[in-house]
Chains A and B, each alone.
Chain A
Amino acid sequence: GENVEQHPSTLSVQEGDSAVIKCTYSDSASNYFPWYKQELGKRPQLIIDIRSNVGEKKDQRIAVTLNKTAKHFSLHITETQPEDSAVYFCAAITNFGNEKLTFGTGTRLTIIP
């Protein structure tokens, strides 16, 4: 089955700087990669996703890149703000046969004012 590894587990960034979170996956057939943000005591919320037919997707200050050859994808947050502090989870899914989202272990991002 799919295995997703996420790094780092914790990340502290000065407000205004950029943050990068990286994930690797094991199943080369995986073709959908969502990122979720979970604030303390709240539900995970989808913030951005990417499918395997594109290499990069951007939504305002958030971008995700995908390298299918190396089987890794990354979340980039630019101009970080205090409200970006949360736990971020990456996930991967294979469309055919087993449509099960496999999550990474999460990254606790702290934005230092």
Chain B
Amino acid sequence: ETGVTQTPRHLVMGMTNKKSLKCEQHLGHNAMYWYKQSAKKPLELMFVYNFKEQTENNSVPSRFSPECPNSSHLFLHLHTLQPEDSALYLCASSQDKVAAQPQHFGDGTRLSIL
């Protein structure tokens, strides 16, 4: 299934670098999500966009900056990250964010902060 595509799959960066994660969905969905998955922790919701508008910021530090130029694309801009930010970052989409629609995930970006 290639409905939700994330790039890059792996990223290693220093704490002073600036990089971006990209997510693209080909499912015609209107809602997109960023999640953080760390070892032995539940999936943590970071941001929610519905029809390109941010509707949820789950107390995420400002060193993570999301961007949603249209309903098919979602970015996560990273700068001055900390070692504890190393994790798998998953993007997901759903038809919309009401009525509890199933979410479809991408393969994630494995991020390592040196």
The secondary-structure label for the interface of chain A is strand
Other A-B pairs, 7, CB within 8 Å; known A43-B106, A93-B100, A100-B56? A31-B100, A100-B45, A100-B58, A101-B103, A103-B43, A105-B41, A106-B42
Residue from B40, B48, B100, B102 within 8 A of A95 (CB atoms): B100
Interface string of A22-51 (1 = CB under 8 A from B): 000000000110101000001111100101
Interface residues on B, range: 20 to 34
Given contacts A43-B90, A104-B42, contact A99 B105 (CB under 8 A): no
A51 touches B107 (CB 8 A): no
Report the bound CA distance from A95 to B41 in whole Å. Answer: 24
Chain B residue numbers with a CB within 8 Å of A88 are none
Across the two chains, which residue of chain A brings its CB closest to B103?
A101
Chain A residue numbers with a CB within 8 Å of B108 are 43
